[in-house]
Every structure is written in C-alpha cells, then in structure tokens.
Amino acid sequence: MTVEQFDPKQTTTLETSSKIIAQQAVEQAENVQKAGAKVENISPRVGFVSLGCPKNLVDSERILTQLRTEGYDVTNSYDDAELVIVNTCGFIDSAVQESLDTIGEALAANGKVLVTGCLGVKKDEIIELHPNVLGVTGPHAYDEVLTQVHQHVAKPVHNPFIDLVPPQGVKLTPKHYAYLKISEGCNHRCTFCIIPSMRGDLDSRPVGDVLGEAKRLVDAGVKELLVISQDTSAYGVDVKHKTDFWDGMPVKTHMQQLCEELAKQGVWIRLHYVYPYPHVDKIIPLMAEGKILPYLDIPFQHANKRILKLMKRPGSSDRVLERIAKWREICPELVIRSTFIVGFPGETEEEFEELLAFLEEAQLDRVGCFKYSPVEGATANALPDHISPEVMEERLQRFMAVQAKISSEKLQARIGQEYLIIVDEINGLGIVGRSYMDAPEVDGKVYLSDDFDAEPGDQIWVQIIHADEHDVWGVRVEE
C-alpha cells in the first residue's frame, strides 16, 4: 500500500463528527452525575474516530448507537479510552494516507486499536504496516466490530438510569440535521473509483425502513434530512422498484416516490449524489412546488466525451447543458453542486479547456474539484499518459479560478434578496447558518455579524447584504 503524504486539501473527512463525539461525552458524564453515580470508571470507555464522507459517518453512527445501547461510554480522546476504533476511508490516496496516519497515531497514543471502514478491505496491507492493531473489518461490518470490542473490553453492566439511547440512535451531526442513507454499494464501475470493491453492488434499503427512520429523526427535532447513498438516483433498481408499505400505504422503492413521501415530513429534504438519469427530470417539479429543496448534488466529473468514456461515466456535455437549462426553466431557484476530476490519465490541454468552457456555460452554483488520485485498485491506473503532478496542480488552480469567478458573480446577485436560513451555530462574531443553497460542511455559509439572538436549529429570515466567492453576510428580517 503505497500512497503520498496526506494532503488536508484532498480529505473527504467531515469536521463535525469529532465535535459531536466530544459533546456527547460531556452529556454522558452529566447523565451519570444526575443519576447520582461516580463519573470515574462507571463504564468502559471506547475512543472513536470517524474519517471519510457522510456515508461513512452513518456507519459510525450505527456502531456508536450499538455501543451506547450496550452501556459503553464514547470519547474522541485516545488518552482515557480502553480501546480506540478508527473508521477509515479509502476513496483516494490522500484519504488512505489520512487513515493510515490516524491508525498509527491511535496506536502510539493508546496501543489498543480496532480498524473498520472502507480501507478495512485491505486487511493484510493494514496489518503489514500496523501489525499491532487488534482487528480489521470492512465497511458496514457493525456486528463484527461489536464482537471485537467485546473480545478486548469487558461488556458493561447495563444501567437503565444512565444508558439512555434516543429512538433515532446516536448521531454525529448537530440535532437539527441528519444524514439519511437510503442504500449501500454501487452498480457503476467508474475507472477512477474502488468503492464497489469495498462496499459491493447496490443494496437498497426497504422504503418503509427509510421512511420510518426519517420520521424518528423528525420527531427528535431534526429539521433537515440529507439523503445520501453511492447513487441516489438508482435507489430501488436492485429490487426492481418493488412496492413496500409505510404507514399502511403502498410505496414504490423508487427515488421519485421516496422524495414525495419524505416531503410530507415538513422539513428540508436535500438530495446528494444524484446521477443524471432521465427520471431525475421528474424530481425537478417537486422542487419547483417547494416540496423538497431546489438543490441537486450531481457528480459530473468531466465534460469531454472521450474522458467520460475512459472514466466509464454516462452523459455528454451538450446533453447535460440542455437538461440543466430545462431544469432551471422549470425551477429557476435550482442550485446545482458538482464535483470534477482534473488530470485524469490522458487528459489533453484541449480536453481540459473543454471542461473550463463547460463550467463557463453551465454556471454551476457549488463546485468541488480533485486532482486524479491513482488509488490502488482503480482500473484507470492502467491507462497510458498519466499527467504529471505539476500539470495537475496547475489545472486545478485554473479550474478553481474559473469557478471562483462564477461563484462570486452568482452570490453577488443574491445581495438584496431574502432567504430562510437554518442556524448551525452562534460563535463570538454572531450567527452562522445556511440557506437552501448550502449543504453543511461542503458549501458556503450565511453570517449574521453581531446578532446572537438564536439557537442552533432555529430558522430565520435574512436579507443578504454582502458576498464573497464562497459565503454571504446578511441581516435579520422581521417576519
């Protein structure tokens, strides 16, 4: 397993999870005190590190829910834990190195480490680099992880006055938003990606289970559900869109019907990882009607037809541009986020310039970009004419410069307009929130300077008064 040094700019890890684990540890200690018990040694304590994307974060939530159900304390610290679990990412080389570095850090600080997650499929290689780990499991191996914990840390005596787990389970997000994973795996075989080898083929959750989880989350105070999967548009393909039941009514295991039912929950519904299949066109009217947020996260990856074919990605730039124009005609408020790869093997200067021209014409609202990463196992690594690191970096900077100008112009056009925002936090400078245009951690923010009169999860109307390339500033509008 050979990778370059970890580049924090290329990480897929979300920042919120570590903060939430620390916050929950404090709350657990407070529960112990309220129960009249001693904080010290009340339960075995397990350290937990969650790396990678929102899909991995949901796996972490399921493991933590079971740990807490069994009475374990959970902490984000190595020092006071009897054992540390590292949920790894293996999507790109930089993520692999981040995972390996974290495993080594946990071993040095604690000595007792379990490894799980996407990188866990390379068990032999992990053990070769870190022979002292106690165990290695792959992604969504919840029961195996708990079994390994039991082998190395005594199972606590259940205390019903302390070990209270909410019906929605343990979440690694603030209380007002949550990720709702609707499927595992992926049927695509993109040549730059090794996710199917780690997480398998598409495996859709029963629609009744998904809707039941959504209701429990909303009942617990969640005001924004972020729908995630490896391929949200393919939901139900593996089960031939069979009919399930929810609340006594038949519902098809299909993206459109799922969105229609989620819309009835009365909270923000945000769609991520959407592939531009034809039936996505039927989702746009739901956005125009205000049933779900007018926000689409679609990983286009490139615009040149030859490069897309080498990537084994669907679509062509001309067709994509036509559909974007049609979507915006139906729903003018639509915000589109996407991700792209520069420096794919064989990408010529002309093909890269075609990508820049696509950006200019598409006028996408939110864009992320990665340099091609030759992650071990990706079939694209066998392609000829790999791009030098210097050229990849130069193309990345040119790409982001073009998108920064587009983003700045689009946000400047928001000045003077009013938007409903959801408050994420109140810091020393004021309120920090997001509008429908902004997904947590990956998009921009809305700042209300010198305004502190709010709580996380509150929704308030704001008029935009200033903008830069990524974020906007506003003032409260009296309702």
List, for residues 95-118, the tens digit of each pLDDT value.
888 999 999 999 999 999 999 998
The mean per-residue pLDDT over the stretch 346-356 comes to: 97
State yes or no: pLDDT of 6 exceeds 60. Answer: no
pLDDT in tens, 260-291: 999 999 999 999 999 988 899 999 999 999 99
Composition of the chain by helix, strand, coil, percent to 5:
40, 20, 40
* Measured distance CA(191)–CA(178) in Å, rounded: 31
* Measured distance CA(63)–CA(139) in Å, rounded: 11
Give the per-residue pLDDT at 158. 54
Using 50, 70 and 90 to split pLDDT, how confident is the model at 161? very low
The mean per-residue pLDDT over the stretch 458-476 comes to: 96
pLDDT in tens, 177-224: 999 999 988 898 899 988 888 888 999 999 999 999 999 999 999 999
The mean per-residue pLDDT over the stretch 243-258 comes to: 94
Residue with tokens 């374990």: 72
Using 50, 70 and 90 to split pLDDT, how confident is the model at 21? low
Q: pTM of this prediction?
A: 0.80
Among 287, 240, 222, 242, CA closest to 260: 287
State yes or no: pLDDT of 133 exceeds 80. Answer: yes
Q: What is the DSSP string of 225-247?
A: EEEE-S-GGGTTGGGTT-EEEET
pLDDT in tens, 355-364: 999 999 999 9
Using 50, 70 and 90 to split pLDDT, how confident is the model at 24? low
Asked if 478 and 462 count as a contact pair (C-beta separation under 8 A), the reply is no
pLDDT in tens, 388-445: 999 999 999 999 999 999 999 999 999 999 999 999 999 999 999 999 999 998 999 9
Asked if 49 and 101 count as a contact pair (C-beta separation under 8 A), the reply is no
Give me 18's structure tokens.
């570590």
pLDDT in tens, 45-81: 999 998 988 878 888 888 888 888 888 888 888 888 9
Average the pLDDT over each of 22-31, 107-116, 345-354 and give the range with the smallest value.
22-31
Asked if 474 and 465 count as a contact pair (C-beta separation under 8 A), the reply is yes
